[in-house]
Structure 1
Amino acid sequence: MADAQPCKYLIPGLERGLQLLLAFSEQHQDLTFAELHRLVDMPKATAYRVVQTLEHMGFLERNARTNTFRLGMNVLRLGFEYISSLDVAQVGQPVIEQLRDSSQCSSHLAIRDGRDLIYIARVSAAGARINQVSVGTRLPVHCTSLGRMLLTDISRAEFEALFPDERLPGNTPGQPREREALWQMVQADRARGFVVGESFFRPGISSIVYPIYDRDGRVAAVISIMVPSDEVPKSDRERLQNEVRLAADKISGFLGHLSQAS
């Protein structure tokens, strides 16, 4: 195998620095220099210089009281910069798969494009008999609970630019007919922080929807589960809401929304 052969282009100093950073783990979050030296394969003087360099660059932080080291903010920044460069579908796909498995409900990710929502990822529950939407499906934002959640961080001026007429387009049963009625629903959704849409768009199908935030605190997408019933069962409501909320927080953290990640 290629990775089992020695590489003649290695930079020894960089290799040693990365070896030392890799010594930190969940079991070794705070290490003295002596402990670090025992965990890495390098001379003591070299290890000392590597530690000093990494501390100077912010990749290690020293606790003056305990004289121990831990990973510094620059290590975290590198991770967040990379992960936040990925799109919502990339980081969200494994999360909605976990959500599907824990909730036993089909799960979706959607974003807003003007007055439409677009499904960007989906996974079906085992044995699901609901007619599933496919990736790329577009629906009017004002007709669905996912769309309402996507509207929660726009201003009144942006909302009226999006819907310039007092009468909303379409005639889907159950959808709001007037712009003001939709605005009031969206404000209630925003204050609540989530939407439980019980047969809102399609009779016999309910959904639980939470927002996903980007690093600037804007609603980047929404995550939902689809519950095949007119109402989310009261016995499962709290558990299901909590599972969707945790999944939303996880993806938000991946996108660099630090308050959610922490």
Structure 2
Amino acid sequence: MNTRNAPPQDEVDTRLYVALVERTMRVMAAFDGGLGSRTIADIAKQIDLGRSAVQRIVYTLEQLGYLEREEDQRHYRLTLKILDLSGGLTRPGNLMRLVQPVLQDLADETGETASWVKLEGDEIVIQQTVRSRHLGHVSFAPGQRFAALPSSSGQAILAQGDPKFAESLLAAASPALRKRIAFADAAEMAARFAEIRSQGFATTSKEEDLFSVSISAPVLSSSGLVLGALNVSALESRVPHTAISERLGPPIRAAVVRVARILEHQAETGLNGL
């Protein structure tokens, strides 16, 4: 048994220990939390395991839906099905219960509408929202869907993932959708996504119905998978676009840190039945 990243031998009951499970988990861990893609040769070298063994494990994980091939047919990446393994901690209902008090405090602090958003394909979906206390405000309902690329939440989430996926969304965008996207091509999008990763959030302004602004920050699991995004949306009459980063950036970043700490605590204590 290759002992790299394995538990100490004096702690292992060899009658029960399944080395194949260990090797499979090492293959999955080689993907850096889902943020990178790997070839079979890359994985074999990274985890110091024979190429034929890696190939069999990768093939099995692909057939089970946990890995998918990229267009070049050589690189593999994790799929969102990996979240199924997180059990109760990241199950949508439980995760939203964790996020609810954070959303409430975020809405109270900013005075604006705060939402929890997920990415599904080329769209974002509002999963949970706390409305602004102001009479005039941006309003969302759970289940509402919007195109991902023009939205701050979509950009915040996509900036953390495989750039080829975002490029495929941009290439498939209709002419009408492209008019709503701030970047003209993949190079501009890559530069924008790098800026988002650097500052920790994405901002957009809209002129549909009411002039509004939006700021979103991604929430990542301890392994680096994007679980969703926190969003604050406001009327531009109250929060000018030029002031959104200064006024709403600090509270949304603090909210992301708070969610991350809650998730870390739950993972450590194993209290998944929330």
TM-score (norm 1): 0.58
Q: What corresponds to 2:129 in structure 1?
A: 122
Query: Which residue number in structure 1 is paired with residue 120 of structure 2?
Result: 113
> What is the aligned partner in structure 2 of residue 171 from structure 1?
176
Quote how far apart the aligned CAs of 1:128 are: 3.6
Q: Distance in 2 between matches of 1:189 and 1:221?
A: 15
* Higher normalized contact order (CA 8 Å, seq sep 6+, divided by chain length): 2
Q: How far, CA to CA, are the matches of 1:248 and 1:123 in structure 2?
A: 16
Deviations 1:7-41 (A, max 9, x none): xxxxxxxxxxxxxxxxxxxxxxxxxxxxxxxxxxx
Q: Which residue of 2 aligns with 1:47?
A: none
Pairing 1:242–2:247 present: no
TM-score (norm 2): 0.55
Q: Does 1:133 find its partner at 2:140?
A: yes
Deviation at 1:156, TM superposition (A): 2.6
Quote how far apart the aligned CAs of 1:179 are.
Answer: 4.2
Of residues 137-146 and 212-221 in structure 1, the stretch that sits farther from structure 2 once superposed is 212-221
- CA–CA separation in structure 2 for the residues paired with 1:156 and 1:137: 25
Distance 1:115 1:94, change over 3 A: same
Equivalent position SS for 2:215: strand
Q: Aligned equivalents of 2:256 and 2:134: distance in 1? A: 25
Greater Rg by CA: 1
Secondary structure of the corresponding residue to residue 97 of structure 2: helix
What amino acid is the match of 1:242? P
**How far 1:237 moved relative to its partner?**
4.9
Q: CA 1:131 to 1:103, structure 2 compared with 1: closer, same or farther past 3 Å?
A: closer
Partner residue of 2:162?
A: 155
| Alignment correspondent of 1:251 | 259
1:167-218 alpha-carbon deviations (Å, 9 max, x no partner): x225255424744133432232123221232337776211222111112122
For 2:207 and 2:95, the matched residues in 1 are separated by 25
The aligned amino acid for 1:247 is: A
**Whole-Å separation in 1 of the counterparts to 2:192 and 2:94:** 29
* Alignment coverage as a number of residue pairs: 176
Q: Does 1:104 align with 2:108?
A: no
Local SS of the residue matching 2:264: coil
The structure-2 alpha-carbon separation of the partners of 1:84 and 1:159, relative to structure 1 and needing over 3 Å to count, comes to closer
1:13-52 alignment, distance < 5 Å: none
8 A Cα contact 2:219 2:230, kept in partner? yes
Match of 2:200 among 177, 184, 193: 193
- Cα deviation code 1:108-167 (max 9, x no counterpart): 1101011110111101111342351210111110111111101012223333344454xx
Paired residue secondary structure (1:100): helix
**Amino acid in structure 2 at the alignment position of 1:169:** S
Residue 20 of structure 2 aligns with which residue?
none
Residue type of the alignment partner of 1:93: Q
User: Percent of aligned positions with the same letter in both sequences?
Assistant: 16
Distance 1:208 1:242 in 2: 11
Relative to structure 1, the CA distance from residue 195 to residue 164 in structure 2 (aligned partners, 3 Å threshold; closer, same or farther) is closer
What is the distance in 1 between the residues matched to 2:107 and 2:261?
19
The aligned amino acid for 2:232 is: I
Q: 1:174 to 1:203 in 2, by over 3 A?
A: farther
Q: For structure 1, which runs of at least 5 residues remain unmatched after alignment?
A: 1-79
Amino acid at match of 1:116: E
Paired with 2:193 and 2:208, the residues of 1 have a C-alpha distance of 15
SS of structure 2 residue aligned to 1:196: strand
- The letter of the residue matching 2:205 is E
Residue aligned with 2:214, SS = strand
